[in-house]
Amino acid sequence: MLDATTYKRLVQEAPEAVMVRTVLEHALEADAVDEVFEDCRDDQYTRTLLFSALVELMTLVVCRVRRSVSAAFTAQRHKLGVSLKSVYNKLNASDPSVCEGLFRHAAEKMREVVEALNVPQRPLLPGYRTRIVDGNQFAATEHRLKALRTISSGPLPGKALVVWDADAGIISDVYCSEDSYTQERRMAIELLGNVQPGELWIADRNFATAVFLWQIHHSRAFFLVRRHKANVRFRTTGPERRVGETETGIVFETPIVIEDDFGGEFAARLVRVELNSPTRDGDTSLEILTNLPLAVTAVTVAEAYRQRWQIETVFFELDRVFEGEIKTLAHPGAALMVFCLSLLAYNALCVVRTALAAVHGQQAADDVSDYYLTALVFSDWRALDIFASPDDWADKFGSASPRAIASALKSVARHVDMQRIKKTTRGPKKPRPKRTSNKRKPHVSTHRVLKTRRQAR
């Protein structure tokens, strides 16, 4: 049992790690995780190694508490009761349905904690529950599998669609495919079955298909999608007119009717932004399709689409602070499981940030650096297991209510020194000076260069 004295000391010395541990123990309670496995599995089965034990093991790797699967296994060999080969076999056999089910279960529990924290939400577009969706193509792995050793091409272990809840500030859903060549628009078909009335879905042009737009409209939801030149058929019902400006360019609006192949149609708008500067791809304008009511102005539509960068930030932070794509895990099942666990770890940070906002204010929480926060968490994590066993943490927080977890997080958040996890701001970059080159002198002595500079002053 985690006694009060030990817990109090850990809260004082490592509050950030305690908060993340609290969230993960609650979201990944062992019995519930094993139940998810039984409900979602296709071909997988449990013989000796429980699915919850595998999740606990791989979480240590994803959170960089242990440097590899082998290192994590060595540290927990006494409680696993199986060989390292058995661990890899279980990991490699992970079903996409199990990965998705595990994530949804844990994400829902985290969302309940966010609601219990009762921090005023900042909706991206007031009156709408906004979801931002984008795909993530996993990076190439090493050629570890026998079937890959004679192939020089980079082996891609899978792909995922990730849904960002822009209002709650967490990842709400994920859709996995073991085939990395699967088109995002095909994967989105499964997503469309979960669209709820009143939601606003923001997506890039890869999702601008007739099926995607029609299904969202049929579900009494709304879309804000960049136009793909070839995939959506529509006709204009009025002239284009200039309606305003944003920071990025001039906004124009055209009323349109989107058509299908069976004579159906519905009213929508084409919002075009003439950009002040080209995009990375060289585009000088953006065309956005939306079925939002006219009360939402075209300028507001253009500004809302700019917020699609939020999910790009999620992918950047995932790659920077977690081991979400491990090059040595070449099997698609293993790659999908690790990626989903990295999404859960990121969600845990989001919940912690919300708890910090509840105690220290929203501005202070916005200034938190994920890099500094996770550095403290990872460095202090092992201390949590030294002073209390994993079972002690599970007993304390695993079956607690969302309200109890929220209360515990706010209590610990009061001990967090916000200055040591604050983002470092830098000034504007200075222009790079022109460099001289000399093929006959490929190297210089830094000492002599500095000495010459001092003498010249």
pLDDT in tens, 422-441: 988 877 778 888 888 888 88
pLDDT at 179: 93
pLDDT at 441: 83
CB 28 within 8 A of CB 344: yes
| SS3 state at 273 | strand
Return the bridge partners of 241, or none.
253
| SS3 state at 176 | strand
Under the banding of pLDDT at 50, 70 and 90, the label for residue 50 is: confident
Task: State mean pLDDT over 206-218.
Answer: 91
Query: How many other C-beta atoms lie within 10 A of the C-beta of residue 448?
Result: 9
DSSP 69-105: HHHHHHHHHHHH-S-HHHHHHHHHT--HHHHHHHHHH
Q: Which amino acid is at 105?
A: H
Please give the Cα distance from 331 to 150 (Å, whole number): 16
Residue 115: Cβ-neighbour burial (10 angstroms; 0-12, 13-18, 19+): middle
Under the banding of pLDDT at 50, 70 and 90, the label for residue 382 is: confident
The dihedral over CA atoms of 8, 12, 18, 22, expressed in degrees to the nearest 10, equals 50
Task: State mean pLDDT over 193-213.
Answer: 92
Supply the mean pLDDT for the chain. 90
Query: How many other C-beta atoms lie within 10 A of the C-beta of residue 319?
Result: 14
Residues 78-121: tens digit of each pLDDT = 888 889 999 999 999 899 999 999 999 999 999 999 999 999 88
pLDDT at 354: 95
Strands 129-137 and 159-165: antiparallel
Task: Using alpha carbons, select from 341, 19, 317, 372 the residue that is nearest to residue 169.
Answer: 317
Determine phi and psi for 414, rounding to 5 degrees. Answer: -65, -20
Please give the Cα distance from 431 to 249 (Å, whole number): 26
pLDDT at 45: 62
Angle at 373 between CA 372 and CA 379, to 5 degrees: 90
Residues 305-346: tens digit of each pLDDT = 999 989 988 898 888 889 889 999 999 999 999 999 999 999
Domain extent listing, the chain: 4-204+308-412
Token reading at 28: 């990944």
| SS3 state at 243 | strand
Under the banding of pLDDT at 50, 70 and 90, the label for residue 47 is: low
CB 221 within 8 A of CB 195: yes
Please give the Cα distance from 87 to 73 (Å, whole number): 8
Report the share of the chain in percent with pLDDT over 70: 98
